[in-house]
Each structure stands twice: as structure tokens, then as C-alpha cells.
Structure 1
Amino acid sequence: MLKKLLLSVGGFTLIVLVLGATKASQVKTAMAVSHAQPPTSVTTKKAQLMGWRPTASAIGTLSPIKGITVSADADGVLVAFPQDNGAFVQEGDIIARLDTSVEEAQLAAAQARRDLATLQRDRATDLLSKNTISQSDADTATAQLLQAEAEVAALQAQIAKKTVRAPFSGRLGIRHVNLGQFIGRGAPLVSLQKLDELFVDFSVPQRVLPRLEPGREVTVLVDAFPGREFTAEVTAINVVVDDQTRNIAVQATLENPQDELRPGMFVQIKAALGEEEEIVAIPATSVHYASYGNSVFIVENMKDAEGKEYLGVRQSFVTLGATRGDYVGVTSGVKAGEVVVTSGVFKLRNAQAVQINNDIELPSSPTPEPANT
């Protein structure tokens, strides 16, 4: 009897355990299903081969080939400024005059002394020929004449310094002084710039140096003239590389016949460095930038743990090359034809399920309008 009772209790316990395990498995499966993440909606684009010409991009500044701040070489009161602000002047044109009334009076006196010294020298020469005076007296008269002439020349030079002339042809800026103002020696009067040609000053990495030589044309872009491209020619490359940045200074010459561009303008420079090459290009928005390495997410068919196929993403680390508009070149990590995610890459993880939705396609072009800056 006891044996039958024990068998009954054991059988009942076994049934309870089996039912409990089965129920627990069902609950666990249901919970897993209820917490399964739905596929993430993404936009995509195929990596494609594009023909790109290697270029170097840089930022730079326009500077004058000839440009100075005109200043006076003497002290004085400004009595004339015959040129208008912004006027074009020729070399030698008068820009400003300082008061010379005192110097002119001193010059008149010096000229009178010179004339008297000339008469005395002539008289001494005549008397010396008649042996009436000594050679020493004649030499003294000659020396006094030379001294008087030097005094006249010094005053004439001093007066000339108070007439400020254009050292070269160019365009004046806005003057810094007013009539009647006392001007100190070296004080700035007005800017004078030669604008028909300008320098484009910029720097490029040292790796570019072997493919950039004087005579090569570069494209110059100026924010003030959107949509326009100016052409300059490389005319000089510095002989040393900056030991801090490892960049080298380059100077190009830009024709500016209409005086449209001005010194000091910020510009962007693009220099073509060789023949066109085929490169794998992807939209720049598809790159996940990180300190440990840049990567993209490639869309492909995958299988889950149960062997079921689904559409997922594979994270692939990439090496980036040059950029063109909205595209960036890839030298490794992506092959032409592979489909990459172009939006929301920061929220994806490797092997995550995705759903492609290109109904609203992000615009991307190697030559966007307006250009990227």
C-alpha cells in the first residue's frame, strides 16, 4: 500500500515538474518575442565608381603684389589732398602736400646767400688771375659757394619730402587724415593698392609637394562671388616646410583686370594634381566618424540564430580619401555596388535588422549647388 502511495506521489511530482518546465519555456519564448526590436527604417545608396582627378584643397588669402600704406616723410600740417577716396592714381601723382611756408622762406634766404657766394667766387677767381689775392682766399670763396649750394639743395629736399607722391600706379583707399591736421613723420595717410594682379597665399600638406610645381593652374573660389571660379597660376613655392604643421607655403598669381577682388579676401583653393582616376565613392552622410576608426554600415542578407534570413547591416571600417561635394572617396572597406546606409548610422549596430525606405531620398552630388563650404 505504501509503495503504491509513493509511486503515485512521485508520478504526480514528475508531471508537475514537466508542466512547469514547459510553461516556463513558453513564457520565456513569449517574452523574447514581445521584446524583439522591429527593423530600423534606413535610407541607402550604392557605392559607385567615379572618375575623380586628384586635387588638393586649401584656404588662403588674397594679398597685393604692390600695396602700401602711404605716409609722409616729414612733419607738417596737411594743406592739400588733391585725390578723392578710391581714385586711381598714376605713378608720380601728388597724393598730399604739407605746409612748406617756413622752408620756402628759408630757401629764398639760402638762394640769396648762394647768389652772393657765386659773385664772390667769380670776383676771387678774377683777382687771383691778376695775383691780387692769394690762392687761399680764392679757395675760401669757392668753399663758401659750395656750402651755400648745399644749403639750397638741403632745403629743396626738405620741401620735396612734404609733397607726397604715388610710388606706383594703383587705387587709393579711404584717407586717414583731414586738411589742417598736423601729420607726424611716418603717420599713415591712405592705402595704395595695385589691384590688376593679386597674390593668392595658401599652404598645402608636404605630401602634395611632388605634384605641385610653378606654372600649374589652380582654381580660386571666393564667397563674395558664389558660382564663379577664378584661375590663378602657381608662381612660387617656399623653400622650407613649417616644422609645426608640416605644411608648405605656396603663392599663386591671379589676374584681376576689373578690380573685383580685393586684398585680404578669404578664398578657397583647389589644385588639380594629376590625371583622372577611378575611385569608389559614397555619400559623406554614410560615414560613422569615431576616434577608434571611421566605419559604414553595409546592407546585406543575414541569418539569425535560428537560421532565418533577414535584411541586416554589417559594420565595415573604412579608409577615406578625397571629398567631392556630398561624396567622399573610400580607398578600403567598401566595394563598388555594395549598398550603404546613408542616414541614422549613429544609432545602428552590427547585424541589426533594417528596412529600406528610400521614398524620401537624401540629395547627394559630387557638385552640389551651392557648393559645400
Structure 2
Amino acid sequence: MPTTSSRLPAGSLLLCSLVFAAVLVGCSKPEPASERRGGIQSRPVIAAEISYSPEQVNVEAVGTSRALRSVSIRPRVAGQVESVKVEPGQKVSEGEVLFSLDSRDEALALRNAEVELEDAERLLRRYRQTGDSGAVTQSALDDAESAVARARIAVDRARVNLDYQQVKAPFTGYVGLTDIDPGAWVDTSTTLTTLDDRSTLLVTFPLPELLLGQIAIGETIELSAWRKQALVAEGRVVEIDSRVDASERTFLVRAHVDNSEDKLRPGMSFRIALTLTGNDFALIPELSLQWGPRGSFVWAVIDGVAERRVATIVQRRAGQVLVDLDLPEGALVVLEGIQMVREGMPVSVAQVVNVAGMPARTEPEVSGD
């Protein structure tokens, strides 16, 4: 039987050769120079530009307030109350009379002392007028001068005793409640009322001993009351205790709080909030922080290459992390595309964002021809 030839036509062989050559040329197309480095393809990533920020310690405490100046008013002498000059809650000025005691005896004593002073001064004048005649000895003249001096002291003492019958405000402030009525007998142990200068409150609060040295005079604090619509005020640290309570492991801090609007009252307790600042550390986005067998780290972009850098967490913030990182401010760390990054891998930064996540600057990729 005649055999059938299996050879293809010459035209078909030529067409197959051309198709195969085109496939080879397409497969061997060179990659752009920007996407290759040392024969390894670079990975496009989005990086974050780190900044340095101080460590912040938010502290809360409970403080108790008192008026800047607060006293219990007591009389200097015993006696019967003649009149009450003030009402509870009244604002009085320094030196204003609050209570009057029966002062008739003291007024008579003062008048008597003034009469004795007049007699002593009159006698001294006579002795001096006759001093040249020799009728008065020098000793008698000296006695007369001493008598005048003693009489003046007696007058001053009588005036003081008379003044003690008037109970006066030692400073400007607000009068508290009183149970004293006219006619009541009082002595030096009787509390007539209280007086508070509440234009400024002195708030005392404890802090843990580990914060000793981190808070300083002049530090600003924020206070709020405990009710639903809390009053908020600011204070300034004015005193720090010189010792630590051995049982509580705390130390006391005092702050001045302006109360010129008179909304706060002595004795109120407050929620204290203050922010203490420490050393500066690198601030990075939380998404840039990775974990490995040796702890936390970030991928740093150094001269277009990814490098693993140890990043020890110092403090977490909303969407950000404060870390101890050996990189200068402005250095770049990988933010997106982290999963494909490896040590020493070339990376191309498509975009740079700041720590807050907003674009800081854009670096366009370099494409080949």
C-alpha cells in the first residue's frame, strides 16, 4: 500500500518558527531599572515619617480643698456680747468689726489712764519751769519724767483693752455660721464664727512616690467636681512635700486654684488630672510596629533597602506608639506593604505620610522606558 507522508508544508514550519520567536522575545523583556536592584525586584510600600515626642504620664488623684486663709474667730478677752455686726455668708473687709463686747469698763479705764497722764505731764512741766531756780532736784525731775512715761504706757494698754472688745476681721473673706446672739457670755475659748478667704483655694492631693522628681513647682493641673455637670478649673502647683509617707508610699502636693468667681467652696473634694512629661522618644504609627521572636521591631527604609530595627514600646497612644528606636527624626518606617517586606529587600516608597496619617509628601515611582 502506498505510504502517506507526515511532513508539514514548508509554509507551516515557517509560521511556527515566527510565533515561537515572538514568545521568546516577549518573555525576555527587560524590567524597569527602578524595579530591580541587584537582580531582586523592589517592593512598593507606603512609609511613615517618624517624629520625636516627649513621654506623657497621665496622673489622676483625689484632692481636698481649703481656703487659702481660714480661721476660727475667737475673742481676745472674756465678756458679754453687745451686738453681732455680720450675717453668715457675708463678705467682710480686713479690720471690719464682726462682734462687739460690752466695753464700758474698758472705756472708763482708758479715761482714767488719760487723766493720770495729764497729771503726770502737768507736774513735769512745773518741775522744768522751776529747774533753773534750784527748787527741784534732778532726782525729782527724773522721777517726774518716768511717771509720764508710765502714764503713757497705761494709756496705750487701756486702748488695747478697749480695742479687744471689738472682734475684727483679720483679713478680707466670708463669714461662716454663728450661734452667738447679743447678751451671750463668751471667753477666749468660745468660737464666734469662721472666716475664709476663698478667692484662692489650696488643694492638697497625694501622688505615688515613683512620680517624685517628675512634678515641679508651677506645674498645671486640672480639677473637676464629682457631680454630673462637673465644674472644671485649673490650678498651679505651689508646694511639694519634703518627705514620703512610709505607710502609703505617697507624697503630698499642694496647688493654688483661682476662685475669683466664687463657684467653689473650701472643703470640696476634686478629681485631679495632670500630665507629666518625660524624655523624648520616636513616635510611629501603631501599624508599623511588628513582632518577632526577639520582641517588637519596625522595618526602616535606609537608602531604599528595608532594615529591621528593634523598637521597644514606651507608651501607647491612640493609633500611635512611642518607642525607643535608634533612628533620627524624619527617618522612614514601612506603614503599608509590611507583609511582603524582608530583611535587605529593596523597597520603593510610593508615598510618605506623617505620624497622624495625613500625607506629608509624595515621591513618584521612577518608571523605565
Q: Give yes or no for the alignment of 1:242 onto 2:245.
A: yes
Q: Give yes or no for the alignment of 1:81 onto 2:87.
A: no
Tell me the SS of whatever aligns to 2:213: helix
Q: Which has a greater percent of strand?
A: 2
TM-fit CA distance, 1:181: 0.7
Give me the whole-angstrom Cα distance separating, in 2, the residues matched to 1:245 and 1:151. 56
TM-fit CA distance, 1:74: 1.0
Aligned to 1:19: none
Q: Give yes or no for the alignment of 1:55 onto 2:58.
A: yes
Aligned to 2:206: 203
Does structure 2 conserve the Cα–Cα contact (< 8 Å) formed by 1:176 and 1:188?
Answer: no
Give me the whole-angstrom Cα distance separating, in 1, the residues matched to 2:129 and 2:122. 11
Q: Give yes or no for the alignment of 1:92 onto 2:98.
A: no
Give me the whole-angstrom Cα distance separating, in 2, the residues matched to 1:123 and 1:84. 54
Q: TM-score under structure 1 normalisation? A: 0.58
Aligned to 1:231: 234
TM-fit CA distance, 1:224: 4.2
Aligned to 1:122: 125
Aligned to 2:341: none
Does structure 1 conserve the Cα–Cα contact (< 8 Å) formed by 2:110 and 2:162?
Answer: no
Give me the whole-angstrom Cα distance separating, in 2, the residues matched to 1:56 and 1:136. 78
Change (3 A) 1:279 1:190: farther
The count of aligned residue pairs is: 235
Tell me the SS of whatever aligns to 2:192: strand
The one of 174, 182, 196 equivalent to 1:179 is 182
Aligned to 1:327: none
TM-fit CA distance, 1:253: 1.0
Does structure 2 conserve the Cα–Cα contact (< 8 Å) formed by 1:73 and 1:186?
Answer: no
Q: TM-score under structure 2 normalisation? A: 0.59
TM-fit CA distance, 1:229: 2.0
Tell me the SS of whatever aligns to 1:269: strand
Change (3 A) 1:215 1:133: closer
Change (3 A) 1:181 1:224: farther
Tell me the SS of whatever aligns to 1:175: coil
Aligned to 2:23: none
Give me the whole-angstrom Cα distance separating, in 2, the residues matched to 1:279 and 1:69. 58
Q: Give yes or no for the alignment of 1:135 onto 2:166.
A: no
Give me the whole-angstrom Cα distance separating, in 1, the residues matched to 2:284 and 2:80. 68
Which residue type is aligned with residue 183 of structure 1?
A: V
Percent identical among aligned pairs is: 23
TM-fit CA distance, 1:100: 1.0
TM-fit CA distance, 1:259: 1.1
Give me the whole-angstrom Cα distance separating, in 2, the residues matched to 1:193 and 1:156. 28
Trace 1:1-373 onto structure 2 (pairs within 5 A). Answer: 54-224=57-227, 226-274=229-277
Change (3 A) 1:224 1:194: farther
Does structure 1 conserve the Cα–Cα contact (< 8 Å) formed by 2:178 and 2:192?
Answer: yes
TM-fit CA distance, 1:195: 1.1
Change (3 A) 1:139 1:160: same
Give me the whole-angstrom Cα distance separating, in 1, the residues matched to 2:131 and 2:218. 71
Does structure 1 conserve the Cα–Cα contact (< 8 Å) formed by 2:80 and 2:102?
Answer: yes
Cα root mean square deviation, aligned: 2.9
For residues 143-163 of structure 1, the C-alpha deviation after alignment (integer angstroms, 9 at most, x for no partner) is 222222221111111111221
Does structure 2 conserve the Cα–Cα contact (< 8 Å) formed by 1:90 and 1:166?
Answer: yes
For residues 232-272 of structure 1, the C-alpha deviation after alignment (integer angstroms, 9 at most, x for no partner) is 11122111111121101001111111211111112111111
TM-fit CA distance, 1:119: 1.1
Does structure 1 conserve the Cα–Cα contact (< 8 Å) formed by 2:91 and 2:172?
Answer: yes
Tell me the SS of whatever aligns to 1:54: strand
Which residue type is aligned with residue 77 of structure 1?
A: Q
Tell me the SS of whatever aligns to 2:68: strand
Aligned to 2:333: none
Does structure 2 conserve the Cα–Cα contact (< 8 Å) formed by 1:56 and 1:208?
Answer: no
Tell me the SS of whatever aligns to 1:61: strand
Does structure 1 conserve the Cα–Cα contact (< 8 Å) formed by 2:83 and 2:181?
Answer: no
Change (3 A) 1:112 1:57: same
Which residue type is aligned with residue 83 of structure 2?
A: A
Does structure 2 conserve the Cα–Cα contact (< 8 Å) formed by 1:65 and 1:197?
Answer: yes
Give me the whole-angstrom Cα distance separating, in 2, the residues matched to 1:140 and 1:279. 94
TM-fit CA distance, 1:228: 3.2
Give me the whole-angstrom Cα distance separating, in 2, the residues matched to 1:130 and 1:261. 76
Unaligned ranges ≥5, structure 1: 1-51, 281-320, 325-373
Tell me the SS of whatever aligns to 1:260: coil
